[in-house]
Amino acid sequence: MLRIYDTRTRQVEELAPGRAVRMYTCGPTVYRYAHVGNLRTYLLSDLIRRVLERRRTRVLACQNITDVGHLTDAGVDKVVEQAQAEGRSVRELARFYEDAFRNDTAALNLRPPEHMPRASETIELMIELIAKLIEKGHAYVVPDGSVFFDVRTFPTYGEISGNRLDALRPAHRVESVDPRKRFHADWALWKPAEGELTWETPWGRGFPGWHVECSAMSLRFLGAPFDLHTGGIDLRFPHHEDERAQSNAAAGQEVVRHWVHGEHLLFDGRKMAKSTGNVVLLSDVVAAGLDPLAVRMAFLEHRYRQQMNLTWDTLRAADRTVRRWRARVAEWAESPSAPMASAYVERVEAAFADDLDTPGALRVLRELERDESVAPGAKFESFLHLDQVLALDLSTDVGKVPVLPAGAGELLEARDRAREAKDWKEADRLRDELAALGVRVSDTPEGQTWT
């Protein structure tokens, strides 16, 4: 089965699923476009799913949409703030960026989850969860209608991040510590407010805290316990620590069996952020003339838990590889069929199963591509079989009728005449001229062929 690094236990562990694996992924906050750094996180859950399904394990996936409750440092809801800035309603803004996110993930061949609940449509689940935590003594209500989780009632807090409760310090400035809290590390489950994104509760009108959303949705759609929880490394603390405390306190057991995190993506050596001006969207990659799946290929060149520095040179190299492999697969498709190169396929699948060693898998595929002892038909079958995990659309060019660039037809005819006249120097010159137009010419006993 798949072996994968568990952030909480700090070791690579083998998944031991039953008939299905249940997996939760923290989804986007839909107030802006997702950049390619965000999208790398979602490739992680897609790879896990594809590897498991190749091993005949069903995957039930849930990924939330945060359209309420994610606050700025100033305490303003990010969705509300951006809606005001763009002159849209909150609903219009959230649906616009949710659709953009879905389009981006589809362009990267990320399979949609079975459940994709919106926070704004599952408020009742959150209210029920908060009420249960209050009843069990893990949360408390203060006079203004705020509800806080009492972190000191959860002794194992910090197992994911390594942050011990007794070592946690108050907020950046002493005066910013909320006097309503029993302990400075407690966090809000519910916040009092009036306005568009608010709901009535037994504690008053308001909206949910960000952390409680994922607990409520994962418990509702996956149950307890479930197998995998994925997300970016930046969510490890405090989001996932708080989520684990809420879920375990409510369910009375360890809810998540394995916590799996993807590392940060840098661009040109810096963290991708609006403040540094180096945000790259998938639309920017397409506008540069690159296939969007070049982004997926570039990500596959690095282990998911390895920090990656993406550059335009990296993306262009990945684009060339994707296009070359599609051309090779189309070329191999013209050869007689042959069984897969099983030794190579097994090595690639072993790399996938070994903590998603995608760089190792790609090295084996390049070795197979160059191995002249393997029949072209076997290469064709092997690459298409493994593309079910790679998802690079390697069969895209198979069966397409090739179209010659302008002027290439006349050059091919001239080269035919040169070969008939045994003017090999002229034939070689014309071959080079055709290559400059992107036409590859090969000589066979039956005559010249081209791709």
**Helix, coil or strand: residue 274:** helix
d(CA 111, CA 115): 12
The H or E element that residue 105 is part of is helix 90-107
d(CA 259, CA 356): 15
Quote the crossing angle between the two packed helices 123-135 and 241-251, to the nearest 10°: 70
Contact between residue 30 and residue 101 where contact means Cβ atoms under 8 Å apart: yes
Task: Indicate whether 6 pLDDT > 80.
Answer: yes
Q: Calculate the CA 332 to chain-centre distance.
A: 31
The H or E element that residue 369 is part of is helix 358-370
Q: Calculate the CA 193 to chain-centre distance.
A: 34
- Using left for φ > 0, alpha for ψ between -120 and 50, and beta otherwise, residue 257 falls in alpha
| Residue 136 labeled ligand binder | no
And the tokens for 170? 């108050």
d(CA 140, CA 431): 79
d(CA 27, CA 10): 24
pLDDT of residue 72: 61
Percentages helix, strand, coil for the chain (3-state, rounded to 5) are 45, 15, 35
Domains by residue range for the chain, with CATH: 3-262 (3.40.50.620), 267-390 (no CATH), 408-450 (no CATH)
| Residue 239 labeled ligand binder | yes
Output DSSP code: residue 55: T
d(CA 127, CA 199): 10
Neighbours of 303 (CB within 10 A): 17
- Say which amino acid occupies 123: I
d(CA 230, CA 355): 14
The H or E element that residue 368 is part of is helix 358-370
Angle at 128 between CA 124 and CA 129, to 5 degrees: 115
Output DSSP code: residue 108: T
pLDDT of residue 331: 92
d(CA 101, CA 108): 11
Neighbours of 89 (CB within 10 A): 12
Q: Which residue, among 34, 253, 218, 227, has the nearest Cα to 114 in the 3D structure?
A: 218
The predicted-structure confidence for 325-334, as pLDDT tens digits, reads as follows: 999 999 999 9
The predicted-structure confidence for 158-211, as pLDDT tens digits, reads as follows: 999 999 888 887 754 444 678 899 999 999 999 998 887 899 999 999 999 989
The predicted-structure confidence for 255-270, as pLDDT tens digits, reads as follows: 999 999 999 999 989 8
pLDDT band, residue 271 (cuts 50/70/90): confident
Q: Which residue, among 98, 89, 87, 76, has the nearest Cα to 31 in the 3D structure?
A: 98
| Residue 62 labeled ligand binder | no
Distance (Å) of CA 375 to CA 332, 333, 389: 9, 11, 22
Output DSSP code: residue 394: T
Report the helix count and the strand count for the chain, using DSSP H and E: 14, 15
Phi, then psi, of 447 in degrees rounded to 5: 125, -175
Q: Which residue, among 110, 147, 44, 190, has the nearest Cα to 392 in the 3D structure?
A: 110
The predicted-structure confidence for 359-416, as pLDDT tens digits, reads as follows: 999 999 999 999 999 999 999 999 999 999 999 999 988 877 566 777 887 888 889 8
What is the largest distance, in Å, between two alpha-carbon atoms of the chain? 98
Contact between residue 376 and residue 331 where contact means Cβ atoms under 8 Å apart: yes
Task: Indicate whether 70 pLDDT > 90.
Answer: no
pLDDT of residue 69: 67
Angle at 301 between CA 297 and CA 307, to 5 degrees: 115
Average pLDDT of the segment spanning 37-56 = 95
Q: What percent of the chain has pLDDT over 70?
A: 96
Strands (E), 184-284: 187-192, 206-208, 226-232, 256-262, 265-267, 270-271
Task: Indicate whether 277 pLDDT > 80.
Answer: no
Output DSSP code: residue 80: H
- Please name the residue ranges forming H helices in 114-236: 123-135, 210-222
Q: Calculate the CA 189 to chain-centre distance.
A: 28
The predicted-structure confidence for 200-231, as pLDDT tens digits, reads as follows: 999 999 999 989 999 999 999 999 999 999 99
Q: Is the peptide bond before 117 cis (omega within 30 degrees of 0)?
A: no
Residue showing tokens 């998540």:
256
And the tokens for 155? 């002794």
Which residues, in sequence order, are bridge partners of residue 134? none
Distance (Å) of CA 198 to CA 121, 192, 216, 352: 12, 8, 17, 45
